[in-house]
Structure 1
Amino acid sequence: MKSTLLVSFSFLLLAFAFTKPSTAGDLDATEAVLDTDGEKLRAGAEYYILPLIRGRGGGLTMASTRDESCPLDVVQEPLEISEGLPVTFSPCESQERSHPCLD
């Protein structure tokens, strides 16, 4: 339970780190998402999702948090020195508004 709450909180911090306040007329679907160096994310490139504040644990990885071995859960590494597993991003091209990337 504690690791699930920690992962949720980490994603919330990440979301705030990569967004800016906007108004209804300010939305632009072509606006780029930037990494921590201010560079545009590249499709297919590997990135590590790490806490915004140092000393709050490591990156994200997969682990079993129940009595089952599959499916695995996304959890945060407990140690800051652990980067976790890399993730890659892909562009979403669908026109559906409610779930644009689900097929």
Structure 2
Amino acid sequence: MDKIKKMLPYLLVCIVAFYGLPLLGKDTGSFMTILLIAIPLICFISSVFYGVKNGFNFIFSLIVGILFIPTIFIYYNSSAWGYTIAYAIVSLAGNLIGEFFIRRRN
């Protein structure tokens, strides 16, 4: 339970990106920019900070991917399923880089 509490601030950043940024979309082009640039960048940065603060945690990246799933039904269509895996991988990469910074610092 303590690990989940440590994840919450970083997951909330991802949740705001997943559920808030699509509200800014006006057309297909803006939605694609949000899906391909804004959300992955926010997930990556959040994951790096999580990794620096707490080390590597595979579950964090898995949760990031799972949190995106409801947005497929709310904002997008079935073609967005691949982004679930993509965001989990982006989060995993950020988490690993964050842990790398910890090891390098020590």
Both proteins in one fold, TM over 0.5: no
Query: More helix by proportion, 1 or 2?
Result: 2
| TM-score when normalising by structure 1 | 0.31
